């Protein structure tokens, strides 16, 4: 348990990141574990408070037959999600999420996936989460507007991106030919520092959390000008 006087984490927890990926997802790839039957682009209709996934029935004959003879607990399946940066950069995949659980029917046009475990991967690092941790986590409040906010920064505020990068790199941007915003959440944003042959992702943590899209500008302003003298972002 964290000490009560400890500073807040500069980034969301793995469970919060995973829950945010679910909140932003529109589709997934679904694999029936025993049969190895894989369906691409199954539509994700909703995620409830217990992190159960409501899927639109893909009307796949093989899946329908497998569900018809499955036990009451349903089919063992796993679902895969890919989190892609909304800004067009190299290597746009930010994270991958895989859920394993049981799939059952919930009406003529709806399937329910009850996750038992989650695996959240970033780069070469994979972290395993249980269903309780995922269910207790809340999606980031900026998830639904992240793409719009990142595009606004990317296309209209190159000067601000440079200043934010300088905060992290101590004014040392030698060799950097481009700075792109690739992730934004309530606790900060991630900038991609591009060179001619590679890139580095760096995180800029807000001093206080942004509770909604309307607070992102003031949080950036707080980082760049704590005195509040400059014109607002």
- 50 vs 121, more confident: 121
pLDDT given for residue 60 in this prediction: 93
- 143-224: CATH topology: Split barrel-like (3.20.180)
Please give the pLDDT value at position 48: 86
On whether the 14-136 domain is CATH 3.40.50.2300, my answer is: no
pLDDT (tens digit, 9 = 90+) per residue, 40-94? 999 999 998 788 999 999 999 999 999 999 998 999 999 999 999 999 998 999 9
For residue 51, the model assigns a pLDDT of 84
pTM, entire model: 0.86
Residue 176, φ and ψ in degrees, nearest 5: -80, 125
d(CA 54, CA 138): 17
Domain with CATH 3.20.180.10 in the chain: 143-224
In the chain, which residues fall in CATH 2.30.110.10? 14-136
Predicted local distance difference test score (pLDDT) of residue 229 = 56
| C-alpha 151, offset from chain centre | 16
Question: What strands lie across the sheet with 188-194, from one edge to the other?
Answer: 178-185, 188-194, 199-205
Parallel, antiparallel, or unpaired: how do β-strands 110-122 and 53-56 relate? antiparallel
Kindly tell me if the per-residue pLDDT of 131 is higher than 90. Answer: no
Cα 217 to chain centroid distance, Å, stands at 21
Weakest mean pLDDT among 76-80, 196-200, 222-226: 222-226
């Amino acid at each position: 348990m964290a000490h009560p006087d400890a500073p807040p984490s500069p980034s969301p927890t793995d469970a919060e990141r995973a829950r945010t990926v679910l909140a932003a997802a529109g589709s997934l790839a679904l694999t029936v574990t025993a049969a190895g039957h894989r369906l691409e682009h199954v539509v994700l209709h909703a995620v409830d408070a217990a992190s159960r996934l409501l899927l639109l029935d893909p009307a796949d004959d093989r899946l329908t037959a497998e569900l018809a003879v499955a036990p009451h607990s349903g089919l063992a399946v796993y679902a895969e999600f890919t989190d892609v940066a909304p800004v067009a950069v190299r290597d746009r995949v930010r994270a991958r999420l895989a859920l394993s659980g049981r799939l059952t029917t919930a009406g003529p046009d709806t399937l329910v996936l009850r996750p038992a475990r989650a695996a959240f991967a970033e780069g070469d690092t994979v972290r395993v989460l249980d269903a309780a941790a995922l269910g207790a986590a809340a999606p980031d409040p900026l998830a639904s507007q992240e793409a719009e906010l990142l595009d606004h920064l990317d296309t209209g505020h190159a000067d601000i991106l440079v200043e934010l990068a300088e905060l992290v790199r101590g004014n040392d941007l030698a060799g950097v030919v481009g700075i792109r915003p690739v992730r934004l959440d309530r606790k900060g944003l991630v900038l991609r520092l591009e060179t001619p042959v590679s890139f580095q992702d760096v995180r800029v943590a807000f001093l206080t959390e942004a509770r909604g899209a309307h607070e992102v500008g003031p949080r950036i302003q707080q980082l760049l000008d704590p005195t509040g003298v400059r014109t607002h972002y």
